[in-house]
A and B are shown apart, each in its own frame.
Chain A
Amino acid sequence: MTSAAPRVAIVDDDVLVLRALDRLLRAAGLAVETFSSADEFLQSRRPAAGCVVMDLSMPGRGGLELQRALAEAADSRPIVFISGQGTVPASVQAMKAGAVDFLTKPIDEPRLLDAVRAALEKDRVLREQDAARAAITSRLLTLTERERQVLAHVVVGKLNKQIAAALGTAEKTIKVHRARMMRKMQVDSLAELVQAWTVTQPLRD
């Protein structure tokens, strides 16, 4: 993983607006890159970290379509929408699809900076969670088949005796598997194990 500073991508078809927002964010000490169309943005290299500030209405592919395209490409960069007119349906759709904020032009500096910082923070948190998830997943992969079976029973609260019965083996053997599994998962308690295991599970509504 690179340690490059997070970058804010701005997508707006209006060059004057694009340049102005670029300067505004640079003045606030942020690293910025600019794109004058959705297609240009999609063709660019994805930075290690950052967020996207994009215009809702652009000729050709508009902001909502770009948001969809990013989701399909598993690009999780948080999005701040900016729009000439605050049309309610569009903003609802954007927020439902996970946008951080929806600002109407002309945008006041503090509002924009707050939104961008919130987006960057969200990005940071997401990336940390990703990293944690990745670590636990790699630990899970070190478990043997039998250790994984034991884990599955442990996290739903089964006792060693019950697990032994279910797997058709001695309680003593289960104890050994369980200790080895706990060590490999780098956890000291049942609570820690459950928490780590939960992180790897797909989210449910």
Chain B
Amino acid sequence: MDGHPATPGLISTRPPRWLAPVLAVAVGYYLAARLGFTFTLKPYPISTLWPPNALLVAVLLLARTRDWWWLLAAALPAHLSAELQSGVPAAMVLGWYASNCSEALIGAGLVRAFIPAPLRLHSLRNSAAFLLCVVLAAPLLSSFIDATIVRLIGFGDSPYWDLVSRRFFSNVLAELTVVPLVLTWAAAVGSGAKALKPARYVEAAALAIGLLGACLLVFEVPHSGRQTSPALFYIPLPFLLWAAVRFGPVGIATALPVMTLAAIWGTVHGLGPFVSEQPHETARDVQLFVIAVAVPLLLFAIALDERERLERDSRAQLTHLSRVATLGELSGGIAHELNQPLTAILSNAQAARSFLASKTADPELLAEILEDIITADQRAGHVIDRLRAMFKRGETHFEPLEVNVLVREVATLVHGDLTTRGVQLDLRLAERPLPVKGDRVQLEQVFLNLMMNGAEAMAACGSGDRVLTVGTLATAGKVHVNVVDHGAGFAVPPAKLFEAFYTTKPNGLGLGLSISRSIVDAHGGKLWASTRRGGGAAFLVTLPSLPKG
């Protein structure tokens, strides 16, 4: 320090960014350690479930590698204050800190070597890495380190192999229950968990009550002394399956710790089917039971989730592909649509230059010209904005929308195409706003498809008949968009039109209408097709309207 006062700009009144994670690690580690102590089956010093190490692994897996060191350091004060209360020699307390950190570093380090990003349990590949590195390798290797340290310090008189195996199973169980819990919840919160429907809350509550009831029934009854029926162990299983199938990885990762805590709590209090004369056997039985249930169920939930995600992805990919194909067909029209404002800008600017050169320019005229140039530029910009949005392959994003606005935007996009086809657009929009909830790009994709189909259907019509009518209308709780052409209509049953790969166009993919229908379905609406008596086809999109407020 050179004694100069610190630059005022460097002093921040806000707490530093590292403070929250450090406090979270310290408090979490301390509480986890206290919890671990309560699961100790006296007289053996090793807890049945020791969660602090697993918590550290989870934190490291979520953090950037360069932050690991101070996150581990943050656990030290928590470790000391938790362990020193138990009257263990200071050297042993520090030794345990070292072995706990080694477990976290081995587990997280190995995973990071395979998957160089914060770990997400959303694929079987990631889950395999998790099981091998975190659940198996980390407890195994660190238990040898731990037992070696205990022997070197000379603490207690347990045989070396007993130390290794007891600590191993205790930590396997902890890794298996704590890490998925933290990782899946972090992912759910991080992805901005959507507000669930009330029915899902009711279901979750019913599941929680059922699971707790089952656990009470199995694990919290006095031990009768006679051989327990093995069938009893299966009672929580339906609820765990329920959690895995209906609530995915988060569900099972939450349900498993609940059952684990119930089983261990009962056992520690002399209740349930696991109690035996030998405390270490009792502990082993509980641990093996939970491990045997947890591994397949976790994998099952993750596999199910991965498959759903892949299906969702390929559907989104197909939707995007079809949209890009449609925009490709539209490219000539879009060039026209951009050329118009460019023409207006150039001609206006050259006119202004001529007026100025000939000294016949009055300020009012020049202001009008500039105003038109601005309008033309904004028009081109708007087309490009919409195009960019439609070309992008984004996540589905539901938001409150106004159907009239969407129809007008699509009308701008197809304007050039309709013009080159000599089609007149007759917009008959409802006067009041028509609110719906939906994905803007996807709904625009539907309207774009219907309008382009309608325009193409009229290629053979006379110029007076080439009119595309697009109307919007609200009825009780519903919003309707009607796209009507004066073409030849269609000769097949309407259902055929919506089949994938059915097309009447020489270069068509046959995806437009089938994808339009699935988009409308996903919005809780319906897409209908009908032939009009006077010739031509009518497509009707009906969407649930968004209640006000």
Contact = CB atoms under 8 A, between A and B. Distances in A.
A23 interface: yes
Interface string A2-40: 000000000001101101110110111000000000000
A85 B375 CA distance: 22
A61 B347 contact: no
B354 A57 contact: no
SS of B interface (majority): helix
B342 A105 contact: yes
B261 interface: no
Nearest to B360: A27
A23 B358 CA distance: 13
A108 interface: yes
B344 A20 contact: yes
Interface in B362-419: 365, 369, 372, 375-376, 379, 416, 418-419
A33 B320 CA distance: 46
A105 B463 contact: no
Given A27-B355, A85-B420, A105-B339, A62 B463 contact: yes
A107 B340 contact: no
A65 B464 CA distance: 11
B424 interface: yes
A27 to B, nearest CB: 4
Contact of A106 (B346, B379, B425): B346
Contacts of B375: 16
A56 B345 CA distance: 19
Contact of B422 (A14, A24, A28, A62): A62
Contact of A24 (B340, B341, B351, B466): B351
Give the interface residue-count category, chain A: 20 to 34
A105 B346 CA distance: 10
B65 interface: no
Contacts of A112: 347
Interface string A44-72: 00000000000001111110010000000
Secondary structure dominating the interface of A: loop
Interface in B315-363: 332, 335-336, 339-348, 350-352, 354-355, 358, 360
A168 to B, nearest CB: 59
Interface in A175-199: none
B419 A20 contact: no
Contact of B463 (A19, A24, A26, A60): A60
A84 B335 contact: yes
A106 B376 CA distance: 13
A112 B343 CA distance: 12
B339 A84 contact: yes
B262 interface: no
A60 B464 contact: yes
B335 A85 contact: yes
A128 interface: no
A103 to B, nearest CB: 10
Contact of B423 (A21, A24, A59, A85): A59
Contacts of B376: 16, 20
A84 B340 contact: yes
Given A20-B372, A27-B351, A109-B354, A60 B343 contact: no
Interface of B: 332, 335-336, 339-348, 350-352, 354-355, 358, 360, 365, 369, 372, 375-376, 379, 416, 418-420, 422-425, 463-464, 466
Interface of A: 13-14, 16-17, 19-21, 23-24, 26-28, 57-62, 65, 84-85, 105-109, 112
21 contacts: A14-B340, A16-B379, A17-B343, A19-B372, A20-B347, A20-B372, A23-B365, A23-B369, A27-B360, A57-B336, A57-B419, A59-B418, A59-B419, A60-B463, A61-B422, A84-B420, A85-B332, A85-B339, A106-B342, A108-B350, A109-B347
